[in-house]
Amino acid sequence: QLQLQESGPGLVKASETLSLTCTVSGGSISSSTYYWGWIRQPPGKGLEWIGSLFYSGSSYYNPSLKSRVTTSVDTSNNQFSLRLSSVTAADTAWYYCARHLSGTYSGDLYMGHYFDYWGRGTLVTVSS
Amino acid sequence: QSALTQPASVSGSPGQSITISCTGTSRDVGSYKLVSWYQQHPGKAPKLMIYEDTKRPSGVSNRFSGSKSGNTASLTISGLQAEDEADYHCCSYAGSITLLFGGGTKLTVL
Output the average pLDDT for chain B.
96
Residue type, A73: V
Q: How many beta-carbon pairs below 8 A join chains A and B?
A: 79
Distance CA B27, CA B4 (A): 11
**How do residues B72-94 score in pLDDT, each as one tens digit?**
999 999 999 999 999 999 999 99
Find, among A92, A90, A69, A65, the residue nearest to A81 by Cα: A69
Report CA-CA distances (Å) from A91 to A43, A54, A57, A97: 10, 24, 24, 16
**Mean pLDDT within B28-54:** 97
pLDDT at B70: 96
A50 DSSP β-pair partners: none
Q: In what order do the strands lie in the sheet with B72-77?
A: B18-23, B72-77, B64-69
| Chain A interface, best mutation among B29, B75, B99, by max A CB count within 10 A | B99
d(CA A76, CA B61): 38
Q: What pLDDT score was predicted for residue A42?
A: 97
What local confidence, expressed as pLDDT, does residue A122 receive?
98
Residue B8 vs residues A44, B38, B106: alpha-carbon distances, Å: 12, 15, 6
Sign of the alpha-carbon dihedral angle for A120, A126, B2, B3:
positive
% of chain B with per-residue pLDDT over 70:
100
- Comparing alpha-carbon positions, the chain A residue that sits nearest to B96 is A60
**Angstrom distances, CA of residue B22 to CA of A47, A52, A54, B13:** 14, 23, 28, 22
Q: For an interface test with B, give the residue of A49, A114, A120 to mutate (most B CBs within 10 A).
A: A114
Residues of chain A under the 70 pLDDT cut: none
